[in-house]
Amino acid sequence: MHMSSIPFATTDWSQIEPVEHKGESGLAYWRTREFGDIRVRMVEYTLGYLADHWCVKGHILLCLEGELHTELKDGRTFTLTAGMSYQVADDAEAHRSSTTLGARLFIVD
């Protein structure tokens, strides 16, 4: 990833209107900023959230609060708690997220 033409700025995430995304169950609320080809998001998953799709987009993801379960299409599963992260490249390994407790994430993709 090459970052260019992004002037220094701060983001007050509480001032960015959340957009609701329905999962197979539960909801995700995205607060999004875009900088050229780079998308930066603060995402909150409600209790019982399960993604409605297998994602092939690459991410760098940091779990800020709660507990996130990530399932890879090959059957492997991973659990992230506050302070843990994962990274995956575009088109590398299809994955989907779920949470029983809810989670708040910071994601760059």
- 10 lies in some domain: no
- 52 lies in some domain: yes
SS3 sequence, the chain?
Answer: CCCCCCCCCCCCHHHCCCEEEECCECEEEEEEEEECCEEEEEEEECCCEECCCCECCCEEEEEEEEEEEEEECCCCEEEEECCCEEEECCCCCCEEEEECCCEEEEEEC
Q: For residue 82, give its domain range.
A: 37-108
- 28 lies in some domain: no
Tell me: pLDDT of 17 over 70. Answer: yes
**Quick one: pLDDT at residue 5?**
86
pTM: 0.93
- 3 lies in some domain: no
**Quick one: pLDDT at residue 2?**
75
- pLDDT tens-digit map of 74-109: 999 999 999 999 999 999 999 999 999 999 999 999
Into how many domains does the chain fold?
A: 1
**Quick one: pLDDT at residue 26?**
98
- 32 lies in some domain: no
The CATH number of the domain holding residue 85 is 2.60.120.10
- 77 lies in some domain: yes
- pLDDT tens-digit map of 42-73: 999 999 999 999 999 999 999 999 999 999 99
